[in-house]
Amino acid sequence: MEANELQEVVLAFASGAKVREKTDRPSLTVPAASLPDLLAKLKADERLSFDMLLDHTAVDWLERGVLELFYQLFSTRHGHTLTVSAEVPREEPVAPSVSGVHLIAEWQEREVYDMFGVLYEGHPDLRRLLLDDSWVGHPLRKDYRDDHMIERPK
Amino acid sequence: MTVQAYTLDDLVKRLDPQATEGASQQYFLNLGPQHPAAHGVLRVMLFLDGETVVRAIPVLGYIHRGIEKMGESLSTRQFIHLTDRLDYLSALMNNWAVARTVEKAAGIEVSPRAEWIRTIMAELQRLQSHLLWLGVLGMDLGAFTPFLWGFRDREELTYIFEETIGARLTMNYVLPGGVMSDIHPEFAARVKKYVAYIRPKIAEYEALLSGNVILEERLRNIGRLSAEDAVSIGATGPVLRASGVALDLRKASPYGAYDKLEFQVPVGTVGDSWDRYWVRFEEMRQSIAMIEQLLGGIPEGPHMSVKPAVKVKLPEGVHYGQLETARGILGVFIAAAGGSDVPYRIHLRSPTFNNLWSVTRLAPGWRIADLVAILTTLDLVIPDIER
Amino acid sequence: MALFDPKGARAETRQVAGKSVAVLLAPRLVRRGFLHDVFYGLKSLLTGMRVTLPYGLTTSRIVTRQYPENRGTLKMYERYRARLTFIRDGQGRHTCTGCRNCEKACPNGSIIIETAKGAVTGKNEVQRFIWRFDACTFCNLCVYTCPFDALEMKGDFEHAVFDRRLLVYNLNSYAGPHASLWDKVEDEEQRKTLATKISPYDGKVPLAGTSMAGCPARAHGEGGAS
Amino acid sequence: MGLKIIDDFPGVAMKVPGGSVMLGVMDAVINWARANSLWPLSFGTSCCAIEMLMATGAPHQDMARFGAEVARPSPRQADLLVVAGTIVKRMAPTLRTLYEQMAEPRYVMATGACAISGGPFIYNNYSVVRGADEIIPVDVYVPGCPPRPEAFFYALLTLQRMIRSGDSLKSRHVHKRPVMSALPAGITVADIQEELRDLLERDSAVDVEKEAAAGPWAGKGYC
């Protein structure tokens, strides 16, 4: 399936979805609440069959005050890719968990919680993945600072 | 807020009754964080019934180095040297993955010669990585000879890298636009000699290991990962292929010089430890075949298309690139604000991160010694998981 | 006959990721009953021993490198990167202009350059070229980006020390202008004043525990005692 | 006061006072034995572990030639802790525990940039400890990223040199750290004395008079 065609098919699927500009692959922005449903549908659909969640991560857009969640989907059957993104507010970042759809999301979401503090509703085991439980703050947020970090001298 | 985050202690408290239910001899064991069979600083919490694993919980973070945070203040050219230190056994392919993503984003042309060099180096490194894995597999299963042999033949490859690249393990060789230095004049002759040397050695390994009854007993039917599970956890590389899904980016979306090469993708049938063993073993042969084909024609041309003084500026937007390393698909996610060579955010999707997840599925029901076999056939590199 | 037939891999074509891919299916092991297993097990063990035995009988396959006995003859590959040095001409003069390209290219701040305006030449001159061997990762970006070919990586590797502070080097052996500026000064007397000699540890070195420009202090006692 | 000691370091600082011939011979024998049977703890966290602990054990390098091939997984049986790889904050307590579980005499080697100073992870990093010597005392530093196996062997020889001149039966648990003996050719003590005096006095040299009054052997007639 061509990129444009794919994008149209997916757009028909997702309510409230918009095409995300400035990416190098078919890409959509959707409301965070619709994520688990959408991913399940994309996985089940014969033409799309996005059965692998390659990657899930977040970007902290400090100026806009949002955390943008990115889901990279891949179809082992058709070989096409799709980026789904959703925005959650920085101050109260809550998103629904997609671990019911893709098993690996459990760990990927734990990592994003660890690094960005995004709380996933319905996650079976939301713990820090890489840092100690006693760690204060979420280091990949742009405004994270601690005593240990030294800036490289200019 | 309704969402609750837990700690490790909470988890242990929550799991304890389930873990010990019906068990006649209940134990709790920490494998790691510094255990010789874990290949690095992996810690697996094991709930045991006698010697049988009831539940395995990997605990990560003992080598989490915050590379992604550092990437937000380094240019991509500088960041590449950090990727050497992730999956250090396929350092060059990590370099390539980042370089390729940057090239695609910034629209940089790469000469056929540079692509050729990258491809042959990547295959040499895949062979090197699998040789190390073979040695370590032998050692974990109680055989010392494979360790000695694997390292003996791996070291010869290291000398080839040393001659051309100047480093043994952490190479920092592939940069956006090409490779750092042209191949050494002796390179092709040395590789040719090496290929002639390694072919009979592979046959020797096969005679020693593949038909061996002990190895067979330790691997057959242990740790079966179904194709469905493998796809759902995003397992890639030999682990996924052993489960029967022939996904190999070298075939699925060829990069470098792979579209000119003829090779087969080794695939397993049931996804047990044996299949993972065989797939990697066969991949070594395929790599050698590819190296031989590559030696046939070295294209002329420059090895680098970007001058060192040029800053490789990233256009605004989100860029994603992926590449097949020795352990699976390495994805590079770059969000750029534009106008700078420093990414706003860089994230790496490491193959072993997903592959490790399968331990929670595969370990229960098997004994600790089998868990070791499962871990070693998953071919984990812990710094790659934790980045 | 055997449990495992190495040539038993089946080749076929499969549809994966929208492409047809030539695959090779893993051969499976078959079990043929207890007695067969016993004999096969014995046979496989003997096979392994037949492979390994010749290694014990012949000495022609020794591959071990005899360091340190071969220290005199050991040669590193010329591209091997283990120590950063200045390239010097016959008179010991370097070509570094102090442009700081390497300092900027270094990913982890291992290079710190101090420059000053030369009294005679009026140009930027390197006073001290500090290289932190203890932090260097030998990524070669400094050599790669140097526009004046002033740097090179040498292959010598015997640098183990008892004290970490000895791993901070001054690369330049004199504070003064680079080679081509040197030739422009014609007055013999002036030439003598161009450079002052400095040793590898000359001046204030960014020692562990002390702070200086370009090298922040290490916080002591933060990771644990002692 | 301290100057005299630095000048003649390390000969003066740790001499067995009272110098009995018997003890001197035994010191030499014990230290010779210790130096030639260093059992490393197999502690590797990342890339350096491949080069330091695996490649050196393999045929091309063969650590057995130095009597150090017996890599032990248990700290109780090891006397050389090779810190091979990055130490992050979460690993630091474990490393400290391992060190403390090792029996005396124990020696620590920091291999590679990460273990010496944090290496590539010095700046803008929230998780990496900047050098193993923030957690445990380190005897030998091996620069490289990672160092090649030969560099590790050179470090092993350096450590053996230190051990042979090392502990004595009378003042136990005091390693000689011959700082000056590692100086590159052409550099003398005087070259860096001025610069390092304060640090040297604090870290490496022993003030005999002061030690006689307050050290662990105070009042025992050694000084």
Which residues does residue C22 pair with via DSSP β-bridges, in sequence order?
Answer: C13
Determine what percent of chain D is predicted with pLDDT higher than 70. Answer: 63
D47/C160 Cα distance (integer angstroms): 19
Determine what percent of chain C is predicted with pLDDT higher than 70. Answer: 83
**What does the pLDDT read at residue D216?**
46
Coil, strand or helix at D50: helix
Residues 148-177 of C with CB under 8 A from A: none
**What does the pLDDT read at residue B347?**
92
- Check B264 against C11: CB less than 8 A apart: yes
Instruction: Please state at what angle helix B273-296 crosses helix B368-378, rounded to 10 degrees.
Output: 20
Closest-CA residue to B55 (of B65, B63, B45, B64): B45
C74 CB near a chain D CB, below 8 Å? yes
Domain shared by B359 and B235, yes or no: yes
Measured CB to CB, residues of chain D less than 8 Å from chain B are 42-47, 49-51, 54-55, 57-61, 73, 85-86, 88, 90-91, 94, 98, 120-121, 123-128, 145-146, 148
Length of chain B: 387
Q: How confident is the model over A18-30, as a mean pLDDT?
A: 83
Res D4 pLDDT > 70: no
- Check D62 against C132: CB less than 8 A apart: no
Phi, psi of C90 (to 5 degrees): -60, -30
B80/B91 Cα distance (integer angstroms): 10
Cβ neighbours, 10 Å, residue B7:
13
Interval C77-115: pLDDT, tens: 888 888 888 888 877 788 888 888 888 888 888 888 888
What does pLDDT average to over chain B?
86
Q: How confident is the model at residue D12 (pLDDT cuts 50, 70, 90)?
A: very low
D150/D161 Cα distance (integer angstroms): 16
Q: How confident is the model at residue A46 (pLDDT cuts 50, 70, 90)?
A: confident
Domain shared by B41 and B108, yes or no: no
Mind telling me how many Å the CA of B14 is from chain C's nearest CA? 32
**What does the pLDDT read at residue D172?**
53
Per-position DSSP letters for A127-147, written without gaps between them: B-SSS-TT--S-TTSTT---T
Helical residues (DSSP H) of chain C, grouped into ranges: 34-57, 101-105, 141-145, 179-184, 188-192
B173 lies in a domain? yes
Mind telling me how many Å the CA of B99 is from chain A's nearest CA? 16
Q: Which residues of B32-48 are buried (b: 16+ CB within 10 A; e: fewer)?
A: bbbbbbbbbbbbbbbbb
Domain shared by B237 and B94, yes or no: yes
Q: How confident is the model over A88-98, as a mean pLDDT?
A: 89
Interval B136-195: pLDDT, tens: 888 888 888 888 888 888 988 999 999 898 888 888 899 998 898 888 888 899 999 999
B2 lies in a domain? no
**What does the pLDDT read at residue C121?**
76
C17 CB near a chain D CB, below 8 Å? no
Domain shared by B34 and B149, yes or no: no
**C138 vs C167, more confident:** C138
Domain shared by B18 and B80, yes or no: no
The answer, as to whether pTM is greater than 0.90, is: no
CA pseudo-torsion sign B191, B193, B196, B200: negative
Domain shared by B114 and B247, yes or no: yes
Chain D interface test: which of C55, C79, C163, C212 (most D C-beta within 10 Å): C163
C104 CB near a chain D CB, below 8 Å? no
Q: How confident is the model at residue D213 (pLDDT cuts 50, 70, 90)?
A: low
Domain shared by B149 and B280, yes or no: yes
**What does the pLDDT read at residue C199?**
65
Which segment of B7-11, B322-326, B328-332 scores lowest on mean pLDDT? B7-11
Q: Kindly state the tokens that stand for C73.
A: 């003859």
- Check A139 against B317: CB less than 8 A apart: no
**What does the pLDDT read at residue B196?**
92
Phi, psi of B368 (to 5 degrees): -60, -40
Residues 45-104 of D with CB under 8 A from A: 89-90
Closest-CA residue to A73 (of A83, A60, A88): A83
Res B228 pLDDT > 60: yes
Half-sphere exposure (Cβ direction) of D171: Cα atoms closer than 13 Å: 24
Mind telling me how many Å the CA of A135 is from chain D's nearest CA? 10
- Check C141 against B213: CB less than 8 A apart: no
**What does the pLDDT read at residue B2?**
65
**Token match 């042969």: residue?**
B285
CA nearest to A153 within chain C: C214
- Check A102 against B232: CB less than 8 A apart: yes
- Check C23 against B274: CB less than 8 A apart: no
Chain B interface test: which of A19, A21, A22 (most B C-beta within 10 Å): A22
**What does the pLDDT read at residue D22?**
55
**B14 vs D68, more confident:** D68
Res B25 pLDDT > 60: yes
What does pLDDT average to over chain C?
76
CB contacts of A32 in chain B (<8 Å) are none
**Token match 């006995």: residue?**
C69
Domain shared by B37 and B73, yes or no: no
**What does the pLDDT read at residue C210?**
41
Res C50 pLDDT > 70: yes
Among the partner-chain residues C16, C216, C222, the one whose CB lies closest to the CB of A153 is: C216
Which segment of A136-140, B196-200, C53-57, C220-224 scores lowest on mean pLDDT? C220-224
Domain shared by B114 and B170, yes or no: yes
CB contacts of A114 in chain D (<8 Å) are none
**What does the pLDDT read at residue D18?**
45
CB contacts of C222 in chain A (<8 Å) are 147-148
Domain shared by B186 and B307, yes or no: yes
**What does the pLDDT read at residue C2?**
47
Q: How confident is the model at residue A20 (pLDDT cuts 50, 70, 90)?
A: confident
User: What ipTM was predicted for this assembly?
Assistant: 0.86
**What does the pLDDT read at residue D10?**
39
A133 CB near a chain B CB, below 8 Å? yes
Residues 13-32 of C with CB under 8 A from B: 14, 16-19, 21-29
What is chain D's alpha carbon radius of gyration, rounded to the nearest angstrom?
18
What is the CATH T-level fold of the domain C83-197, as seen in this structure?
A: Alpha-Beta Plaits (3.30.70)
| Range of the structural domain that residue B24 is part of | 8-59
Interval B354-364: pLDDT, tens: 888 888 888 88
For the CA atoms of C41, C47, C51, C53, the dihedral, rounded to the nearest 10 degrees, stands at 80
**B200 vs D180, more confident:** B200
Q: How confident is the model over B237-261, as a mean pLDDT?
A: 88
Q: How confident is the model over B98-115, as a mean pLDDT?
A: 90
**C222 vs C29, more confident:** C29
Interval C141-193: pLDDT, tens: 999 998 888 888 888 888 887 777 677 777 887 777 887 887 777 777 777 77
Q: What is the DSSP letter of B91?
A: H
**What does the pLDDT read at residue B193?**
92
**Token match 């092993």: residue?**
D156
Residue boundaries of the structural domains of chain C: 2-57, 83-197
Mind telling me how many Å the CA of C168 is from chain A's nearest CA? 17
B165 lies in a domain? yes
| Total number of domains in chain B | 2
Tell me the CA distances in angstroms from A114 to A119, A136, B5, B233, B260, one per residue in order. 9, 10, 10, 20, 43
Q: Which amino acid is at A86?
A: A
B333 lies in a domain? yes
Q: What is the DSSP letter of A151?
A: P
Q: How many CB pairs under 8 A join C and D?
A: 148
B3 lies in a domain? no
Determine what percent of chain B is predicted with pLDDT higher than 70. Answer: 96
What does pLDDT average to over chain A?
86
Mind telling me how many Å the CA of C18 is from chain A's nearest CA? 4
What is chain A's alpha carbon radius of gyration, rounded to the nearest angstrom?
17
Which segment of A1-15, A54-68, B80-94, B331-345 scores lowest on mean pLDDT? A1-15
**What does the pLDDT read at residue D11?**
39
Domain final residue, candidates B59, B86, B101 = B59
Q: How confident is the model over D91-119, as a mean pLDDT?
A: 86
- Check D122 against A131: CB less than 8 A apart: no
Coil, strand or helix at C188: helix
Q: Which domain CATH number covers B226?
A: 1.10.645.10
Q: Are D154 and D122 in contact (CB under 8 A)?
A: no
Domain shared by B17 and B72, yes or no: no
Which runs of E-coded beta strand occur in chain B?
A: 26-31, 43-49, 52-59, 174-175, 178-179, 265-267, 317-325, 328-336, 345-349
Q: How confident is the model at residue D176 (pLDDT cuts 50, 70, 90)?
A: low
Chain B interface test: which of C14, C19, C24 (most B C-beta within 10 Å): C24
**What does the pLDDT read at residue A13?**
76
B1 lies in a domain? no
**A76 vs C90, more confident:** A76
Interval B275-327: pLDDT, tens: 899 899 999 999 999 999 988 888 888 888 888 888 888 888 899 998 999 88
CA nearest to A51 within chain C: C17
A153 CB near a chain C CB, below 8 Å? yes
Interval D192-207: pLDDT, tens: 555 555 544 444 444 4
- Check D126 against A151: CB less than 8 A apart: no
Q: Are D141 and C165 in contact (CB under 8 A)?
A: no
Phi, psi of B118 (to 5 degrees): -60, -45
H or E element in which residue C116 lies: strand C111-117
**B342 vs B210, more confident:** B342
CA angle, D7 as apex, D5 and D8 as ends, to 5°?
Answer: 70
